[in-house]
Structure 1
């Protein structure tokens, strides 16, 4: 099985320009927030994920691949924020983030202006630190 979501050469600004005005602005704000926390430049992963850095993962099943160390996708219904639950300290911070729902590896936010940016920065920082040893 090959990995489907991989880095592309599509400029992030071009992708953000295809979004509606609100999601485009939220995407641009998230790019700056993630960039300031991680020190990494954004790269498109697949058609709709903006990722920062990358790391190698290996599962007991033998499956392995690369994935962004921090990422988001400004989807139409919600902003998907990837990896924010991966650090043990994240559980204590998530209740302070603001209105959100959580999946296995994602935190979903309807509106960026409804969440606490300082808490988001800390969650991104913690997430980034979890993958430091596996960074490519």
Structure 2
């Protein structure tokens, strides 16, 4: 994808706060992964990883990513939020799903901690073929 695609994605975000947070996430995830962003299935994706589950199902997916949703910025952690519970305790206000971190306002969270979470997740996923689904990791 091109920078034009990213600019178009940002332009579609109606909320100034959500747009500001998306711009922050672009820089943060780029630093954490060293990857350039691309639009994939409605989210901003960085890099890829290969997964192969015990069932035999395998494929490729985004190694890091986020989406500027109306209620919150969603950060995707395919290795599961449970893998980051030690850092989540230090992050600031957030909610979680099995593989998602929901942030209502990035000015309320510790961006260094968020970057560490994204970096750790990316490194875990890209270290080789990843064998687990997010729900198979421990989560808070």
Structure 2: 5+ residue stretches without partners: 130-140
- Contact kept, 8 Å, 2:81 with 2:97, in 1: the verdict is no
Measured in 1, the distance between the counterparts of 2:66 and 2:128 equals: 20
- Contact kept, 8 Å, 1:93 with 1:123, in 2: the verdict is yes
* C-alpha displacement of 1:61: 2.3
Structure 1: 5+ residue stretches without partners: 1-7
- Contact kept, 8 Å, 1:87 with 1:130, in 2: the verdict is no
Mapping of residues 12-91 of structure 1, within 5 Å: 12-20=6-14, 21-46=16-41, 48-83=42-77, 86=80, 90-91=84-85
Q: Secondary structure at the match of 2:127?
A: helix
Residues 44-78 of structure 1, C-alpha deviations (whole Å, 9 max, x = no match): 111x2111100111122232221111111110001
Of the two structures, which has the highest relative contact order with CA contacts closer than 8 Å and spacing of 6 or more?
Answer: 2
Length, aligned pairs only? 127
RMSD of equivalent CA atoms: 2.1
Normalised by the length of structure 1, the TM-score is: 0.83
Normalised by the length of structure 2, the TM-score is: 0.81
Query: Which protein is richer in helix relative to its size?
Result: 2
Match of 1:119 among 107, 113, 118: 113
